[in-house]
């Protein structure tokens, strides 16, 4: 399944709306970088790859914008540990 992920820059988040439920990956922009602060997936969407799809798209966006990443959210940090191809995005010391 490829969950439909949308970037909502007005709300500083990536979203996935399925089955009447809204999942989100919240971020804060900062000079030269982005902090991913919270990922939330409702129980109704759990286990469908929604969180991974949102984080994957969020990190692709950060890369395209030339932003360094601080994964303050435990899910984003875990995702980045499991996907070595994202390590170059990490801010030094993060």
Average pLDDT score over the chain: 95
Q: What is the CATH number of the domain that holds 83?
A: 3.40.630.30
pLDDT tens per residue across span 38-65? 999 999 999 999 999 999 999 999 999 9
Q: Count of CB atoms within 10 A of residue 80's CB?
A: 20
Q: At residue 83, does pLDDT exceed 70?
A: yes
Q: Is residue 28 part of a domain?
A: yes
- Altogether, the residues listed in the chain come to a count of 94
pTM listed for this prediction: 0.93
pLDDT tens per residue across span 21-30? 999 999 999 9
Q: Is residue 22 part of a domain?
A: yes
User: Could you tell me the residue range of the domain that residue 79 belongs to?
Assistant: 5-89
């Amino acid at each position: 399944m490829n969950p439909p992920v949308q970037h909502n820059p007005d709300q500083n988040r990536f979203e996935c709306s399925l089955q009447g439920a809204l999942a989100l990956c919240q971020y804060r922009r900062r000079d030269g970088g982005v902090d991913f602060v919270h990922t939330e997936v409702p129980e109704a969407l759990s286990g469908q790859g929604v969180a991974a799809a949102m984080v994957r798209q969020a990190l692709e966006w950060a890369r395209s914008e030339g932003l360094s990443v601080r994964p303050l959210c435990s899910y984003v940090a875990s995702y980045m540990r499991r996907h070595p191809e994202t390590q170059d995005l990490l801010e030094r010391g993060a």
